[in-house]
Structure 1
Amino acid sequence: MGQTGALGRAEKLRKDGNTYFKRGKYLAAIDAYTEAITLCPKVLVNYTNRAQCHRVLKDWTRVEEDSRKAIQLDSDWVKGHYYLGLALLQKQEYPEGVKELERALDLGRVADPKGYMVEDIWQELAKAKFREWEDASSQRAWELQSLKEACESALRQTHDAFQMEGFLDEDGTTHMKQLEALGRVFEKAAEADTASEVPDYLCCNISLDIFRDPVITPSGVTYERSVILDHLEKVGKFDPVTREPVEPSQLIPNFAIKEAVQAYLKEHGWAYRTS
């Protein structure tokens, strides 16, 4: 079979695979994509199509394999980084998984800012960030509790030793005050791992959701890019708050707010609206 014939056959197999997938026949879809890959191994879409099938079947090892093959063919392939990120998260490799999802999100914003994948990637990234923070938070909480118990034990031993030596505080008043002070110290230390509400200034005026890709209008109001673009297209070319005329080309990235959002999320673990 010549190259043209192989390409034609591979394309038909890809379409067959898509049909099988829509019908829920995932194993048949995998077979079709596999045959297409055998015929034309450099057509990367078949790798991520097959990865999607493996994802549905929760075969994360194969999801990772196909995603990496797709990225080898095109390092800017959004779905490759997206599926690889999901697979790594299943292995609890949170830093690497988050890194891949962040890469997918950046590429997706460039390729299709209003596309469905950007929203999907964002949601998965938010959940991944929270799981990463929760895992680290649990570890810190265990370490704090162990340290607190060790300090309480040391205070008890000191108190008992003082009593045996005939020092005052027979009623334990000083000891109780020390324990209370110790408790306040550790309570304060644990506050960093407590989820909190996102400040209003970090949220879009229209969607009320936290900023992902903030842009500022000539009037000085910041919005989520996809949200304000949707407003300009469907409602009218004006600032929703100031009513001043706005063209899409006048929207400027608000890097200060973006950095503030990233700093907040890093500190508070993305613990917001992820359910």
Structure 2
Amino acid sequence: MIEEIWQELAKAKYLEWEDASNKRSWGLQSLKEACEQALKEQYVVDVSQMEGFTDEAENAHMEQLESLSLVFSKAAEADIPSEVPDYLCCKITLDIFRDPVIIPSGVTYERAVILDHLQKVGKFDPITREPLDEHQLVPNLAIKEAVGAFLDEHGWAYKTD
């Protein structure tokens, strides 16, 4: 049941991010078009005032357009999905952590996954093969906090499909 709740929460968070991302994209695109129009109008004024220096005005205009494009592409980067860092993912499922626990060997796993391993495969560490019991699992609060911070900044990572 916890997994189902997390899935629904993740779906809702992703849809919320997607809506906000679309609004940001439209806003950025509108602002970019307005800036390009203002630069074009400024270029026309500059060319009319700089008789014989049209190459300079043309070069300056092109540099401004390139800079503008760079600024807007940087602003849009936060909404472009990329890879989730490995340290925020379970070594077994490769999914982003929800409830990370650390075991005595120092490796962090998703709680449900390591509990499933202990129940179905055996009561041993998957890497070292040392005996491992459920009471030895310790919540990894640092990773949990890092995952939360990452998800706050990268809402696209909530997508579970």
Kindly state the Cα deviation for residue 227 of structure 1 after the two structures are TM-superposed: 0.8
Distance 1:141 1:162 in 2: 31
Match of 1:239 in 2: 125
Q: Which has the larger radius of gyration?
A: 1
Pairing of 1:25-174 with structure 2 (within 5 A): 117-166=1-50, 168-170=53-55, 172-174=58-60
Q: CA RMSD in A?
A: 1.6
Q: Is the 8 A contact 1:196 1:268 kept in 2?
A: no
Aligned length: 159
Kindly state the Cα deviation for residue 166 of structure 1 after the two structures are TM-superposed: 2.1
- Taking only the aligned residue pairs, the percentage that are identical comes to 67
Counterpart amino acid of 1:128? Answer: A
Structure 1 counterpart SS, 2:127? coil
Distance 1:270 1:174, change over 3 A: closer
Structure 2 counterpart SS, 1:271? helix
1:98-139: CA deviation from partner (whole Å, max 9, x where unpaired): xxxxxxxxxxxxxxxxxxx11211111111111111111111
Q: Is the 8 A contact 1:126 1:270 kept in 2?
A: no
Q: Which runs of 5+ in 2 are unaligned?
A: none
Q: Is the 8 A contact 2:11 2:159 kept in 1?
A: no
Distance 1:264 1:196 in 2: 12
Counterpart amino acid of 1:190? Answer: A
Structure 2 counterpart SS, 1:238? coil
Pairing of 1:249-260 with structure 2 (within 5 A): 249-260=135-146
Counterpart amino acid of 2:54? Answer: D
TM-score with structure 2 length normalisation? 0.91
Distance 1:142 1:194 in 2: 14
Distance 2:17 2:23 in 1: 10
Q: Which runs of 5+ in 1 are unaligned?
A: 1-116
Structure 2 counterpart SS, 1:240? coil
Distance 2:114 2:142 in 1: 18
Counterpart amino acid of 2:49? Answer: E
1:58-113: CA deviation from partner (whole Å, max 9, x where unpaired): xxxxxxxxxxxxxxxxxxxxxxxxxxxxxxxxxxxxxxxxxxxxxxxxxxxxxxxx
Distance 1:165 1:209 in 2: 60
Match of 1:210 in 2: 96
Distance 1:270 1:178, change over 3 A: closer
Kindly state the Cα deviation for residue 271 of structure 1 after the two structures are TM-superposed: 3.4
Match of 2:86 in 1: 200
Tell which has more relative contact order, 1 or 2 (C-alpha 8 A, sep 6+): 2
